[in-house]
Amino acid sequence: MSTRRVVVDPVTRIEGHLRIEAMLDGSGVIGDAISSGTMWRGIELILEGRDPRDAWAFCERICGVCTTVHALASVRAVEDAIGTKVPRNADIIRNIMFLTQYVQDHVIHFYHLHALDWVDVVSALKADPDATSKLAHAVSPRWPKSSPGYFRDLLTTLKNFVESGQLGIFANAYWGHPAYKLPPEANLMAVAHYLEALEWQKEVIKIHTVFGGKNPHPNYLVGGMASAIALQSDQAINIERLNMVRGLINEAITIVEQLYLPDLLAIAGFYPEWTQIGGGLGNYLCYGDLPQDGIDSPEAFLFPRGAILDRNLSEVLEVDPRDPEGIREEITHSWYDYPEGKQALHPWEGTTRPNYTGPEPP
């Protein structure tokens, strides 16, 4: 049987630059695939020789979509090196910021990055607003924006947008492809929620603005957090600011429970075969997070630490990030060079030496 090579470059709706080369057998099944990140900046090299207190800001710029996590990892690494335990309040603020990002990022990934692989925007034009309203009620009975009129308005907007001939970000896509499985009503509902989630994500992220001054790229601080807490001060994190944070958290809970999760489950129901695809090599590693008693007490993390090998979910293995044999970075499949022909090193021993040997662009 003849094989075929399919290249997708750029892979869109991700952060960064990615290229996928897939080898298809005669029956159209992918037998092998290669993915390459096609952007490199060398942040590790830029960090060398800097004041460690500044490192978080450089690391934060690794990604502006998951803006926070690299900064958090960096301040913790520096605090670990100098043996500082941060105040409990700082840990609480960091946990709130981490979770804000975690929730906002999941919702954005689902609606604005991934959903267009399952949701056919053009098919939504064929939807019946009354039936869409019924579907929306069935999927999430308490979500308010689900009247027939609401969906009729959206349908008009969508029709006019498509008829203008300027499809913008929806241009030249795969609309109508048989791999799209949702009925028109589910597509219309998903488009509505795409727009609602776009509106909401800019709200929840204000939690970062309260504690970190801005988002994307809020400020962190080695040793704690810079936002002073003084409940009765007009210049610090006071009762009004905390009320605002509480309100935004409550809104986020509503969005997750009444929009995101019901949609996720409803759409997943049409694509059961997707649960059999992917999963990587079946080995998973999690350092754990959300410390309740400092970063040195992983046993008190709300997200536990552990490793799973060979998809064996019944056994969670212990992880010691300091063990030189436990965690290693390999360069076998990357464009880096290690000293003396080494292939794997613990991150503390790791070096960053670019060695690009891939294809030369024309």
Partner 1 sequence: MENKPRETTYEVLRRHGIDRRSFLRYCTMLTAAMGLPGSMVTQVVQAMESKPRIPVIWLHGLECTCCTESFIRSSHPIAQDIILNMISLDYDDTLQAAAGHQAEEIRRRLIEEHPGEYLLAVEGNAPTKDGGVYCTVAGQTFLDVLLETAEHAKAIVAWGSCASNGCVQAAHPNPTGATPVHELIHDKPVINVPGCPPIAEVMTGVLTYVLTFDRLPELDRFGRPKMFYGHRVHDKCQRRAFFDAGQFVEQWDDDGARQGWCLYKMGCRGPMTYNACSSMKWNNGVSFPISSGHGCLGCSENGFWDNGPFYQHLAGVPLPGIESTPDTIGKIAAAAAGVGVAAHFGSFIAKRALFGEGRDRQADTTPAKGDEA
Site for partner 1 in 262-301 (CB under 8 A): none
Which residue, 186 or 205, is less far from partner 1 as judged by CB?
205
Binding positions for partner 1, 95-124, rule CB under 8 A? 112, 116, 121
Determine, following the binding rule CB under 8 A, whether residue 212 of this chain makes contact with partner 1: yes
Determine, following the binding rule CB under 8 A, whether residue 342 of this chain makes contact with partner 1: no
Which residue, 233 or 292, is less far from partner 1 as judged by CB?
233
DSSP for 114-172?
A: IGGGT--TTGGGG--HHHHHHHHHHH-TT-S---HHHHHHHHHHHHHHHHTS--GGGTT
Q: Please name which of 75, 73, 66, 140 lies closest in space to residue 107, comparing C-alpha atoms.
A: 66
Site string for partner 1, 23-42 (x = CB under 8 A): ---------------xxxxx
Query: Pick from 34, 138, 198, 265: which binds partner 1 (CB under 8 A)?
Result: 198
Q: What type of residue is 236?
A: A
Which residue, 8 or 138, is less far from partner 1 as judged by CB?
8
> What CA–CA distances, in Å, run from 269 to 35, 135, 186?
28, 14, 11
Determine, following the binding rule CB under 8 A, whether residue 7 of this chain makes contact with partner 1: yes
Site string for partner 1, 230-259 (x = CB under 8 A): x--xxxx-------x---------------
CA distance between the termini of the chain: 32
Residue 30 pairs in a beta bridge with: 24
Binding positions for partner 1, 145-164, rule CB under 8 A? 153, 156-157, 160-161, 164
Q: Please name which of 270, 302, 269, 306 lies closest in space to residue 287, comparing C-alpha atoms.
A: 306
Using the rule CB under 8 A, give the single segment among 184-192, 205-213, 249-257, 318-326 that binds partner 1. 205-213
CB of 202 to partner 1, least distance (A): 4
User: What are the residues whose beta carbons fall under 8 Å from the beta carbon of 79, sequence distance 6 or more?
Assistant: 85, 86, 222, 223, 295
Query: Pick from 5, 50, 145, 311: which binds partner 1 (CB under 8 A)?
Result: 50
Determine, following the binding rule CB under 8 A, whether residue 261 of this chain makes contact with partner 1: no
Q: What type of residue is 73?
A: A
Q: How far is CA 224 from the centre of its chain?
A: 25
Please work out the total of residues on this chain that contact partner 1, with binding judged by CB under 8 A. Answer: 89
Determine, following the binding rule CB under 8 A, whether residue 228 of this chain makes contact with partner 1: yes
Which residue, 4 or 202, is less far from partner 1 as judged by CB?
202
> What CA–CA distances, in Å, run from 23 to 28, 121, 216, 275?
9, 29, 38, 21
Using the rule CB under 8 A, give the single segment among 216-224, 275-283, 315-323, 339-347 that binds partner 1. 216-224
